[in-house]
Structure 1
Amino acid sequence: MVLYLLDYGAGNVQSLANTLKKLGHEFEWISSPADFHKATSLIFPGVGAFGSAIDGLISRGLYEPLREYIASGKPYFGICIGMQVLFRSSLESSSSKGLGIIPSDIGLFSNADKSVPHMGWNSVEFLDPEEKAHEGLRPDASYYFVHSFRAAYEWDRPEVAQWAHSTTQYGREIFLATVRKGNVFACQFHPEKSGQAGLRVLDAWLRESESERASSPPSPRVARLPKPNDGFTKRVIACMDVRSNDDGDLVVTKGDQYDVRERTTANGVQAEAAGAVRNLGKPVALAARIDRDGTGLGYDLELISLVRRSVRIPVVASSGAGRKEHFVEVFEKTGVEAALAAGIFHRREVSIQEVKEALAAAKINVRTA
């Protein structure tokens, strides 16, 4: 196998490269149209916007060579935008023409009943539960999504439905989580950001023989209606409040005071404030009442509910958590996507795992592993 990765110039593809190295797979980068002829397998780790991806392919002379590569029957794995470019067009950039491999168009999530973007962990459901070749996917696992635009599952259009491999429900909308037909496999989620579940997907595809990867049969057409609840998981966030002390050290202000640039965990991993929280570049609202912070009285449900009703982006509840039951309460009564706490975790009054177990016991979707 001669594996190549396609970077159209968006950057931020190093995480996938690092993941492949971790799994023990060697690869090269597509740097010119001629490289497509050398590749026997190709991964398109798409990040960014639909229009930027298409423009990047065209400006580098890679658009037609990519179409020809896919048409040749050699294995192709698209991720996120690498899946969406397979379609004819996207509302994200109506003037940009997709590859047109899949005869349908990418639409925008409705924010009538949920926050947009769809950002977080969700489950997948196969079209054929008896099928054995699931490309490492598991229906009991969760995968990391971050997108505002999606490919709807059009089961009543045979020419589109035959591409559907698995679906995901967000709110009342059912969209394509993975597509698979012939030599093409692609996923809307980011396997490189999905922990062990995502590593299984990448590794399973790469460990198949290239002949197996190039001959996937179409999936059956299955009518699928929205379920009462989707598989979107709630998130528990451990917050680190930091200030400078008289010696110029950055110290945590709750629990034991320690220099966050020197503190190490039990397994020797350095706790760095700068890397503790990563902004993925998507809008998120923080609902916090500062005078409730540290009281342990529970979240301000009235304020948080007001924020949740006022915006159509993911909301993080903050300030006031004192017991694991407070997390259950804020998710059940406000509908926020995430809840944040600091002191109770730093003081080890309750662990994140205990909070997750309480949420699971209350039938609230959460990743417990």
Structure 2
Amino acid sequence: MRQKTVGLVDYGSGNLRSVRKALEICGARVRIVNHPDEFANPVWEILAVPGVSSFGDCAESLHRTGLWKPILQWLHEGHPYLGICLGYQLLFESSEESPDIPGFGILAGRVVRFRDDKLKVPHMGWNQLIVHQPALFNGLSSPINVYFVHSYYPVPENEDVITSTCEYGSVRFASSIALGNIVGTQFHPEKSQSTGLQFLTNFLRTSPKR
């Protein structure tokens, strides 16, 4: 596999260090992206947006740093994108966590909170995936267990984009999606040990050249 360059977006609250390390282990070059001018002549082929903050804080940070508009343009142009946790949730139109702040709106749907009173929230720790579209999960044997830390989850209007789901109590949610070159994961591949590394390797391998 030819080495690919990933632009890892730094907006001040993402889990950059572990994501960068995981991508590099999988053979990628990583370029930290923290200024909108870098999009004028990008040196990366894939854009990755992690996130460990709230929906609103993440969106506001991207607006404040001037990164929101070039990321949105990147998405509209259909270039390869990996959204992890909040970077995944931001692909949708809105979130109950920050109802007055819109997301990128690339995918129809909204982000909702776990409502089962019997569940411990946040959903934190290892859980098993139910794979619906296997391309990004090649080389992984069942059960496929990955690591989660979240209180909210997206509900896509178009279920065809869902590549895996996960069950937490009575709730089954979309744990990953793919639409063209855009991939999002609610789980953290960078924290999911060898399983996460295989997922990232598959993503890098299947992402096209720009």
TM-score, normalization: structure 1?
0.52
Alpha-carbon shift at residue 139 of structure 1 (Å): 4.2
CA distance in 1, matches of 2:21, 2:29: 11
- How large is the Cα RMSD of the aligned pairs? 1.8
CA distance in 2, matches of 1:164, 1:24: 26
Look up the match of 2:206: 208
Of 118, 121, 125 in structure 2, the residue corresponding to residue 116 of structure 1 is: 121
Of 1, 5, 8 in structure 2, the residue corresponding to residue 5 of structure 1 is: 8
Which amino acid in structure 2 is aligned with residue 59 of structure 1?
R
8 Å CA contact 1:122, 1:143 repeated in 2: yes
Look up the match of 1:164: 162
Q: How many residues in Structure 1 have an aligned counterpart in Structure 2?
A: 204
Alpha-carbon shift at residue 27 of structure 1 (Å): 1.3
Look up the match of 1:281: none
CA distance in 1, matches of 2:136, 2:95: 27
Establish whether residue 70 from structure 1 lines up as the match of residue 75 from structure 2: yes
CA distance in 2, matches of 1:141, 1:113: 25
User: How do residues 5-84 of structure 1 correspond to structure 2 at under 5 angstroms?
Assistant: 5-36=8-39, 37-38=41-42, 39-84=44-89
Alpha-carbon shift at residue 30 of structure 1 (Å): 1.0
Q: Which has the higher contact order (CA 8 A, sep 6+)?
A: 2
Which protein shows a greater Rg?
A: 1
- Deviations along 1:120-159, whole A, 9 cap, x unmatched? 111111225xxx513446541200001001113x6xx4xx
Alpha-carbon shift at residue 16 of structure 1 (Å): 1.0
- Deviations along 1:47-104, whole A, 9 cap, x unmatched? 2111111001100111111110011121001100010000111111112110001111
Of 86, 89, 95 in structure 2, the residue corresponding to residue 90 of structure 1 is: 95
CA distance in 2, matches of 1:9, 1:139: 36
Percent identity between the aligned chains? 36
8 Å CA contact 1:125, 1:139 repeated in 2: no
2:56 aligned counterpart, secondary structure: helix
Unaligned ranges ≥5, structure 1: 215-369
2:79 aligned counterpart, secondary structure: coil
Which amino acid in structure 1 is aligned with residue 182 of structure 2?
V
Alpha-carbon shift at residue 11 of structure 1 (Å): 4.5
CA distance in 1, matches of 2:163, 2:26: 24
Change in Cα spacing, 1:187 to 1:209, as seen in structure 2 (3 Å) is closer
2:125 aligned counterpart, secondary structure: strand
CA distance in 1, matches of 2:14, 2:166: 27
Which amino acid in structure 1 is aligned with residue 66 of structure 2?
G
Look up the match of 1:100: 105
Change in Cα spacing, 1:147 to 1:110, as seen in structure 2 (3 Å) is same
Alpha-carbon shift at residue 109 of structure 1 (Å): 0.1
8 Å CA contact 1:118, 1:146 repeated in 2: yes
CA distance in 1, matches of 2:25, 2:5: 17
CA distance in 2, matches of 1:61, 1:116: 32
CA distance in 2, matches of 1:23, 1:49: 28
2:177 aligned counterpart, secondary structure: strand
Alpha-carbon shift at residue 22 of structure 1 (Å): 2.7
CA distance in 2, matches of 1:47, 1:175: 19
8 Å CA contact 1:51, 1:92 repeated in 2: yes
TM-score, normalization: structure 2?
0.90
Look up the match of 2:190: 192
Unaligned ranges ≥5, structure 2: none
8 Å CA contact 1:110, 1:116 repeated in 2: no
CA distance in 2, matches of 1:135, 1:6: 24
CA distance in 2, matches of 1:59, 1:138: 42
